[in-house]
Structure 1
Amino acid sequence: MKNIAFIGAGSMAEAIISGICRNHTADPADVSVLNKSDDERLVFLGDAYGVATTGSAREKLKEAELIVLAVKPKDAVTAMAEIAPFVPPHAAVLSVIAGIPISAIEAGLGCRAVARSMPNTSAAIGRSATGVAWNDHVTDEQKTAIRSLLASIGTVAEVTEDELHAVTALSGSGPAYIYYLAEALEDAARAAGLGQATARDLIIQTIEGAGAMLRSSGAEPADLRMDVTSPGGTTEAGIQGLREGGFQEAVSRCIRQAEQRSRELGAVPAVPPRLR
């Protein structure tokens, strides 16, 4: 897909642009970035990736085949209102904005192909777990192009828009849960006498190794857990401690509450009456 216009120049926009360039998904000359403010940021992106960020970026918007909405949720309505007169009728829209439903994007930019996605912060290193949902106007060709673009920052799962709330709770917020677990492991390891640097190295490798085992083995998590758990051994004792602490219930509550919050945020009217 040629002529990709990014609206917003933050970390998620940069992660996708970096992935596009790294994987040759699109020619940087066909990518433009618009941002309401922070010219220094635009200069950086132009210098780092060779994308258009100057006055020509607005002209490229008029020829765009794909618009990537990557602004903050609070700025989404204003951003859509500002670009609406320049967006060509045939252009598809890919949103990476949390909490803004497809219906709000359709209201702001008209009846057109819209994809709504939920990447996570690991997109910065090309390891995002991203969910994407489509409206009925997205063609098979557009889906292929958008999947390719999102695959440049990690794995992609197609879901319904309603399922994006669960995706947000699971993988959108998921890195924070893993970091929280790493914090707890590090604190416990230091209390047991390990130095911080040693503990962190061991924790990072343990998390990476377990994830790699899940992916490469194809085994069920429970089976992999049992492979490590010898009767009467140290792992069994540790698992018992987690059970006594209500580990599974806490994880379940974590996902439920995050999903509910996603639904609450998505229910807030995102488009003022004048744009409806």
Structure 2
Amino acid sequence: MQQETTITFIGAGSMAEALISGMIKTLYRPEQIIVTNRCNQKRLEYMKKTYGVRTETNKEKAVKEADIVILAMKPKDAAESIASIASAIGEHQLIISVLAGVMTETIVSLIGKNVAVVRAMPNTSAAIGQSATAISQGRFATEAHVAIAKTLFETVGIVAVVPEHDLHAVTGLSGSGPAYVYYLVEAMEKAAEEIGLDRIVAKQLILQTIIGAAQMLQTTNKHPSILRKEVTSPGGTTEAGIQVLERYRYQEAVVACIKRATERSEELGKELISSAFSHAAAPSR
């Protein structure tokens, strides 16, 4: 990818920040990135001060300057926001969407042009270059567009190219996944406090435990159930702990969590279509 590519982010929330943080550590210079949002000037000032990126309150101007436009607003604001920049988007531009649940065809319809759209689902670990991102090709996107998007997201972690119908599942699994891990750590820290461990010592032990377990999974060919059994001695402490998790149906809860997040991704897409239809049907003033 050419180093002089200009990238405009529509939206300045946590996902946009994570991506920008990772991107400027690798392939892009801050001045190649423009950030705009709906109305939060303080947020734009923070992004400029923290990352050195360019900011712009005029969304149409920000879009016209871009080679790549990244849609990173809240899904509930997507219909209105995309409609507001549609006239500024040209068919030569690549549109990358990180909007949970929103199909590429919906975006093309909202823009009203045969524009190349690549849909992506990264996670916030992009901020430290450790995102797990899946991307999918829209109807008017070429393999070259997919390659550009893949290169962009490889600056913040690993990338898998998947059929678009799999992205709802990806959203529920890895897109939301870091929050599940953080929730587990919250519980472990609470338990450490209740059993009397020093907070700082406990945090170090918890984090290294999670890092070590992840690396074991990554570097061995063993199934996680095998690794678990290797830690679990009959009649020992681990077995006693696992029995409590089984009593509380821990695995069932995790499976249900991921399924519900997947369903919510599908719902968000339907809600956007409904919102877009209502917006289009509303009488002009």
TM-score, structure 2 normalization: 0.86
Aligned-partner Cα distance in 2 for 1:177–1:59: 38
Question: What SS is found at the alignment partner of 1:271?
Answer: helix
Select the residue among 185, 203, 219 that pairs with 1:216. Answer: 219
Aligned-partner Cα distance in 2 for 1:191–1:52: 47
Q: 1:54 to 1:64 in 2, by over 3 A?
A: closer
Consecutive unaligned residues of structure 1, counting only runs of 5 or more, are none
Aligned-partner Cα distance in 2 for 1:52–1:41: 12
1:17 maps to: 20
Deviation at 1:22, TM superposition (A): 0.5
What aligned pairs does 1:11-90 form with structure 2 within 5 A after superposition? 11-24=14-27, 26-54=28-56, 58-59=60-61, 61-90=63-92
Consecutive unaligned residues of structure 2, counting only runs of 5 or more, are none
What aligned pairs does 1:173-184 form with structure 2 within 5 A after superposition? 173-184=176-187
Deviation at 1:211, TM superposition (A): 1.0
What aligned pairs does 1:1-276 form with structure 2 within 5 A after superposition? 1=1, 2-24=5-27, 26-54=28-56, 58-59=60-61, 61-109=63-111, 110-268=113-271, 269=273, 270-272=275-277, 275=280
Summarize deviations over 1:112-166 as a string: whole Å, max 9, x none.
2111122222223332222222213222221121112112222222222221111
Deviation at 1:174, TM superposition (A): 1.5
Deviation at 1:55, TM superposition (A): 7.4
Aligned-partner Cα distance in 1 for 2:31–2:202: 45
Q: Indicate if the aligned counterparts of 1:133 and 1:159 stay in contact, CA closer than 8 A.
A: yes
Identity score, percent? 46
Summarize deviations over 1:67-87 as a string: whole Å, max 9, x none.
101111122112111211111
How many residues end up aligned between the 2 structures? 275
Q: Indicate if the aligned counterparts of 1:11 and 1:124 stay in contact, CA closer than 8 A.
A: no
Summarize deviations over 1:205-232 as a string: whole Å, max 9, x none.
1111111221122432122222222333
Q: 1:217 to 1:17 in 2, by over 3 A?
A: same
Counterpart of 1:39, as a letter, is Q
Deviation at 1:8, TM superposition (A): 1.5
Aligned-partner Cα distance in 1 for 2:57–2:76: 25
RMSD: 2.4
Aligned-partner Cα distance in 2 for 1:50–1:58: 21
Question: What SS is found at the alignment partner of 1:22?
Answer: coil
Deviation at 1:10, TM superposition (A): 2.1
Aligned-partner Cα distance in 1 for 2:38–2:252: 44
Aligned-partner Cα distance in 2 for 1:245–1:251: 11
Aligned-partner Cα distance in 2 for 1:261–1:58: 31
Deviation at 1:58, TM superposition (A): 4.8
Aligned-partner Cα distance in 1 for 2:56–2:105: 31
